[in-house]
């Protein structure tokens, strides 16, 4: 999705900022990867850009789209994502792994105990 948004944003912003412009479906579809050139994918990418504040879609009638480019989309770098996650307070992978290990160990122990009980009951009955 990031590649599609980057390509679409480049096309839209190269046409000029500060005002609505008419774009046709065919020229917008040319920005999409070969296997994904359809109306649904185009609308999803435009909705993503619109929701992120990169463009403003005034209307879409038939094959014509009236779009204003507000700012150019640039995919976030991995370092920026990690820094944002740290500032928000998201648990690190190491902490999640430790918690997961504790839960898995607990459930493995309880499963083994339950299996032992079932085996003992079956051994006495049979």
| Among the ranges given (9-13, 20-24, 68-72, 86-90), the one the predictor scored with the smallest mean pLDDT | 86-90
Domain region containing 107: 90-125
Query: What would the pLDDT profile of 96-122 be if each residue is shown by its tens digit?
Result: 677 888 888 999 999 999 999 999 999
* 39 and 9 within one domain: yes
pTM: 0.58
Residue 120: inside a domain: yes
Residue 26: inside a domain: yes
Task: Copy the structure tokens of residue 4.
Answer: 């599609």
* 97 and 64 within one domain: no
Cα–Cα distance, 62 to 102 (Å, whole number): 56
| Count of other CB atoms within 10 angstroms of residue 42 | 20
* 57 and 26 within one domain: yes
Query: What would the pLDDT profile of 33-86 be if each residue is shown by its tens digit?
Result: 888 899 999 999 999 999 989 999 999 899 999 999 998 887 666 655 566 656
The number of domains in the chain is: 2
């Amino acid at each position: 999705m990031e590649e599609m948004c980057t390509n679409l944003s480049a096309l839209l912003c190269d046409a000029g900022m500060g005002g609505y412009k008419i774009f046709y479906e065919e020229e917008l579809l040319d920005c999409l990867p070969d296997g994904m050139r359809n109306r649904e994918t185009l609308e999803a990418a435009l909705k993503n850009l619109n929701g992120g504040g990169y463009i403003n879609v005034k209307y879409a009638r038939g094959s014509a789209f009236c779009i204003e480019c507000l700012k150019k989309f640039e995919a976030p770098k991995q370092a920026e994502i990690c820094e944002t996650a740290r500032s928000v307070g998201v648990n690190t992978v190491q902490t999640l792994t430790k918690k997961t290990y504790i839960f898995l160990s607990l459930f493995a122990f309880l499963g083994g105990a339950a299996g032992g009980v079932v085996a003992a009951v079956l051994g006495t009955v049979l």
